[in-house]
Structure 1
Amino acid sequence: MGSVSHLGYFGKRKGKRTNTFPKGVLIGAIALLVFAAGAVVFGQTTGIGVIKHRAGAPVAIRDVTITRSAGDQVIVKDARSGVQIAAYEKDAGGFVRGSLRAFERMRMVAKVSDTAPYRIIKWEAGTVSLSDTATGERIYLEAFGKDNAAAFEFLLGQEGGASQ
């Protein structure tokens, strides 16, 4: 048996360059990585171009329990007094309902009690957050739009909940 170069194809390739990765693409990719790393370092050291979430201190806090009734009605009660704050029928309270589903799922995965209260907090910056006291999860509701945040801000009540 002869060598592979005698099969024809490899014999014709003698003296020719092999295909290489284009140097321009490689240099461009390295330059992009260096620029991105430099921009991050510049932003972190100077603060220019960096967006930071500053909520400040809590202005109002209210612990609530959110449950579903047999008729798929969502009932919101003050966790301390047990007074009903709001009730949403089957086709109402879309964002409150959706938030409840998300938190129910997190509680199911974490295997914690579904009777623990939720905490609605209004911050100095005007933002509103919803926290799960059982799992420690917190979402800032402005991320879902001002109207949706206002749906939970309404649950703080006329007095704005318990100030701390």
Structure 2
Amino acid sequence: MGSASHLGYFSDRKGKTPNHLPKGVFFGLAGLIAFTAGAIVFGQVTGLGVVKQELGAPVSIRDLMITRNASGHVVVTDAATREDIALYAPEAGGFVSGSLRAFERMRQVSNVPFDAPYRLIKWESSAVSLSDTGTGERIFLDAFGRDNAAAFEALLAPQGGNSQ
């Protein structure tokens, strides 16, 4: 069997000009890339158009153990005192129990014990974050809506969240 040049394709292409990107499209793409790079540099130098979130210092911190018992109830326990601060029935607890499912999955993948504490933090900016001390993951709960963040923020109070 001969080389690819003997199969007919290359011999048919002899004397024909190769397909090129049109000059207008090329210069348009180059201009778009230059504009984008310039806008990024301008924003970083001047601070205009750049959105920065300043969290400030932590206002309140609480380490929690959030577990699911055999009956499906979600139990929230203060990690320092080992006191139960909230109990959510299987059909209740909405965002708290839903978040636990996501964290349980991350812990399972990372081979982290399910009883490792979570760190709940309220920041000066009024943002609320939940960190998994076992995996190092942190989520800012305000991204899920103010009501969902408030469900966790209630766990920072001495009496804990709504029990049921």
Shorter-chain TM-score bucket reads 0.7 to 0.9
Query: Match for residue 137 of structure 2?
Result: 137
Query: Match for residue 70 of structure 1?
Result: 70
List 4+ stretches of structure 1 deviating above 6 A.
none
Distance, in Å, in 1 between the alignment partners of 2:46 and 2:93 is 44
Contact 2:66 2:117 (8 Å CA) reproduced: yes
- Give runs of aligned pairs for residues 43-82 of structure 1, distance below 5 A: 43-82=43-82
Output the TM-score relative to the length of structure 2: 0.83
- Greater shift, 138-147 or 93-102, is seen at 93-102
Query: Match for residue 150 of structure 2?
Result: 150
Contact 2:85 2:159 (8 Å CA) reproduced: no
1:145 counterpart letter in structure 2 = G
Contact 2:85 2:155 (8 Å CA) reproduced: yes
Q: Structure 1 residues 46 and 159 mapped into 2: Cα distance closer, same or farther (>3 Å)?
A: farther
How far is the alpha carbon of 1:19 from its aligned partner? Answer: 4.0
1:47-88 deviations in whole A, cap 9, x for unaligned? 111111211000001111101011211111111112111111
Q: Structure 1 residues 81 and 45 mapped into 2: Cα distance closer, same or farther (>3 Å)?
A: same
- Give runs of aligned pairs for residues 1-164 of structure 1, distance below 5 A: 10=12, 18-158=18-158
Distance, in Å, in 2 between the alignment partners of 1:97 and 1:142 is 16
1:116-162 deviations in whole A, cap 9, x for unaligned? 110110001101000111122111111111111001000101589xx
Matched residue pairs, number? 152
How far is the alpha carbon of 1:103 from its aligned partner? Answer: 1.2
Q: Structure 1 residues 85 and 159 mapped into 2: Cα distance closer, same or farther (>3 Å)?
A: closer
Query: Match for residue 3 of structure 2?
Result: none
**Identity within the alignment, %:** 59
Q: Structure 1 residues 41 and 155 mapped into 2: Cα distance closer, same or farther (>3 Å)?
A: same
Distance, in Å, in 2 between the alignment partners of 1:60 and 1:95 is 20
How far is the alpha carbon of 1:21 from its aligned partner? Answer: 1.8
How far is the alpha carbon of 1:10 from its aligned partner? Answer: 4.8
